[in-house]
A and B are shown apart, each in its own frame.
Chain A
């Protein structure tokens, strides 16, 4: 292939002229690469427009990023124990992984839940499970992130009722629901309802949060899963911010004041292998978002201009082969996220190409963050790479690439029409396939996979979630259905059905249904009845 250089010890032709995303890079950057660069205009001071250097004036000197390990498996009891373990080891925020039946709004005894209960996250069927999940964890002293999308409003309602029962007022409760349905259609696939009612539910949470739970991030607009599905860095950046803009449009269309809800929008990015490209991506994201919010949406509150984000290291970059090497990969990825100014961080565990993390593996992942934070010194100076010819040029390149995609999405009629035309899905599948071929041709190196292989059995202890979890969970949900006031449940669900047919905010009837111990599946079925379900064509 033209432009490639032969490197290394083997016969492989490794591509050193482009990033992992295919962005062309030069061997050397000089002042000419930054012609027209204007410090005040392009960067500004940290905490000042356009926030390229960071969203807060003091960044990590003021406060470290939140160390938040995504956890969830088995029953609520098992995950509660993992939460407490992580807190005792120095974790500073909680992050909940739900199992597939929960993500898709099925109770554990639904036929589609067979084999899936508690496997990839914790199983939550009703308020009862949520009470157990946060038992002994004061919700005014920890913030919780919940990776939940189609049923986000319901899980959030459960969390708020648990807070209520702990005696914690809602204005003291902080955390995040992912609540980003657009990227589900684009990449992650845990959608349930069609786009329009899904967007309505999301705007309902914006409105409700603004009024009642002011410290809650009502959405985490996510590029993480777009990247995991195979996108490039530029696609991740562009599609995520395009989604963010779509949510803002829907909020404004509802009649909400942009400055009332925009400060509670947050973002979530991937930290992949290509070190500098990732840092440039985060910096570009802040700059683009600040301009979009101020100049296109007319937001006047400076907090509306901030692209605050969580970062997770790239799950897809982990190898099953020589899994200990993943600790090193995660370290580099986490370092990129910190140098890029993330507000919170999840570091993956070395065993995640094989199973959910074992206790020891997740502790090493947390220690990785603690070593970066407390030993390396990198957190003591804000945006230390600013002014680097390379990093600034790459930041500009990322921004230009994203804006190019914004134009293409506009030409397709906006985000939802582009989803319906399979635009994002095809772009991502194309990039994923291209990368796979590059790896197989030896143009991209994966240590231990296409280079430096060893022939040895994998010998690290793995976490197992046994089938007894499903039985225990079925027993519990059936007991809840038996012991609650079923007349009240029926009337709450009927009220929700009526509200869904109308146009009122659904958070209120959802809260009432949750309080009566209506199950997640029952609430979701009620909404399915009114909204219908979304089916994507199986294209590849």
Chain B
């Protein structure tokens, strides 16, 4: 049987807004994925380390604090350093439209802003993982 998709839902920095992270985590679990939630106040290093330890296919970063331009690229870099280049990185939260290309250029696969449907997030992840495993 094929291994279930494993997702790390991560809250980097000091951001305390966790409604979106929890809703997405539940939606991914209900879609049949295995979801690990880091909890709050995680450094980029801690998040990358957790991705390694938990052997995940996907890291979902939730950030509403405005620190995305600093923290997200660090997570991506750290994942690469740990040899996790094919782990899918997606971002959700409050991201001004002008910052989206900045994140995409630095290795983020997609940014899901306010109003995103969890069904779209599930579909995006499933499609990616199928491609990687094919």
Contacts and interface: CB of A to CB of B under 8 A. Distances in A.
B115 A319 contact: yes
A436 B94 CA distance: 17
B117 A114 contact: no
Interface stretch (A62-70, A173-181, A458-466): A458-466
Interface residues of A, number: 47
Contacts of B98: 462
Given A354-B97, A462-B96, A115 B69 contact: yes
B13 A114 contact: yes
Nearest to A117: B67
A537 interface: yes
A186 to B, nearest CB: 12
A429 B22 contact: yes
A101 interface: yes
Contacts, number: 111
B97 A432 contact: no
Given A436-B23, A540-B26, A100 B38 contact: no
Contact of B66 (A112, A119, A433): A119
A319 B43 contact: no
Contact of B67 (A116, A229, A432): A116
Contacts of A189: 16-18, 40
Contact of A228 (B19, B66, B69, B71): B19
Interface in A108-142: 111-116, 119-120
A464 B40 CA distance: 25
A230 B97 contact: no
Q: Can you list the 3 inter-chain pairs with the closest CB atoms, starting with the nearest?
A: A538-B39, A115-B70, A115-B67
Contacts of A429: 22-23, 26
Interface string B57-85: 00000000111111100000000000000
A467 interface: yes
Nearest to A73: B66
Given A116-B67, A355-B96, A316 B14 contact: no
A419 to B, nearest CB: 15
A120 B13 CA distance: 12
25 contacts: A103-B14, A106-B14, A114-B67, A115-B69, A116-B15, A116-B66, A119-B66, A119-B67, A188-B16, A190-B16, A316-B19, A319-B114, A321-B115, A353-B114, A433-B23, A433-B26, A436-B27, A440-B117, A462-B96, A467-B69, A537-B39, A538-B37, A538-B39, A540-B22, A540-B37
A199 B13 CA distance: 26
B70 A114 contact: yes
Given A100-B13, A100-B15, A319-B115, A114 B96 contact: no
B115 A446 contact: yes
Interface residues of B, number: 38
B119 interface: yes
Given A104-B41, A321-B115, A462-B96, 18 more contacts: A100-B67, A112-B13, A113-B14, A116-B14, A120-B65, A189-B18, A230-B19, A318-B114, A353-B115, A429-B23, A432-B23, A449-B115, A458-B97, A536-B40, A538-B37, A540-B21, A540-B22, A540-B35
Contacts of B115: 319-321, 353, 446, 448-449
A100 B96 contact: no
Contacts of A433: 22-23, 26-27
Nearest to B119: A440
B91 interface: no
Contacts of B68: 115
A448 B114 CA distance: 12
A432 B71 contact: no
B113 interface: yes
A318 B113 CA distance: 12
A119 B114 CA distance: 19
A119 B118 contact: no
B120 to A, nearest CB: 10
B108 interface: no
A413 interface: no
A3 interface: no
B65 A112 contact: no
Task: Tell me if B's interface is mostly helix, strand, loop or mixed.
Answer: loop
B25 interface: yes
A457 B113 CA distance: 13
A449 to B, nearest CB: 4
Nearest to B41: A112
Interface in A426-453: 429, 432-433, 436, 440, 446, 448-449
Contact of B65 (A116, A228, A464): A116
A59 B59 CA distance: 52
Nearest to B38: A538
Nearest to B113: A320
B8 to A, nearest CB: 11
Contacts of A115: 13, 67-71
Contact of A320 (B27, B71, B114): B114
A363 B9 CA distance: 37
B14 A100 contact: yes
Interface string A491-521: 0000000000000000000000000000000
B97 A119 contact: no
Contacts of B35: 540
A194 B115 CA distance: 35
Interface string B1-31: 0000000010001111111011101110000
B10 to A, nearest CB: 10
A229 B114 CA distance: 14
Nearest to A318: B114
Which residue, of A189, A356, A458, has the highest number of chain B Cβ atoms within 10 A?
A: A189
Interface in B95-118: 96-98, 113-115, 117-118
Interface in B108-134: 113-115, 117-119
A540 B25 contact: yes
B66 A120 contact: yes
Nearest to A319: B115
A119 B113 CA distance: 18
